[in-house]
Amino acid sequence: MNLWGTSSDSGARDERAGTVERVNDSKKLRVVLVEDSSIIRARLTESLSEIPNLEIVGQAESESDALSLLDSGGWDAVVLDLQLRQGTGLGVLRKLKQCGRPSNSKVIVFTNYAFPQYRDRSLAFGADFFFDKAREFHRVRDVLADLASGAPARAAS
């Protein structure tokens, strides 16, 4: 079932905690970047391109574009900013919580607004990790590298 209530086959997932069984033909961890800053997207893309078995399969700058992209399936992890060009990352999280997301997928909130109230709301809406852009840029890469290797992700949130 996708975000809009229709069937979307994203394949079988491994249910072991902290692992993602990639089911696409290339056997890579499929990552979506939802970030309105082209500079941050470029920095993330450069950093993540060095990780074996990881593929960036989409990018979005707004809540509506993110929901359309995520609804199409074919992703294992999303890196999500809270402040978007239009809408918010919390809106994306809320919709994913209401309508579901691929089994065993991971959502990493990556924001400049790393205040406790945003962290609490993000985790309540289903985020798996919450990182501060100013101090924890490397942790996004570490978590995705772990997931791409099939290892349990380091230190949740």
What does the domain layout of the chain look like in residue ranges? Answer: 29-149
Give the pair of three-digit tokens for residue 36.
Answer: 């309105």
Mean pLDDT, the chain, as a whole number?
A: 85
Q: Who's near 3: CB < 8 A, 6+ residues apart?
A: 67, 70, 71, 95, 96, 99, 100
Which candidate, 78, 73, 152, places its Cα nearest to that of 109?
A: 78
The reported pLDDT for the residue numbered 20 is 39
Task: Give the tens place of pLDDT for each residue, 3-17.
Answer: 434 333 333 323 333
- pTM for this model (two decimals): 0.82
pLDDT-derived band at 29 (thresholds 50, 70, 90) equals very high
Does an H or E element contain 22, and which?
none
Q: 136 pLDDT exceeds 50?
A: yes
Specify the CATH number for 29-149; select among 3.20.20.210, 3.40.50.2300, 3.40.50.720, 3.40.50.1240. 3.40.50.2300
When pLDDT is averaged across residues 123-134 and rounded to a whole number, the result is 97
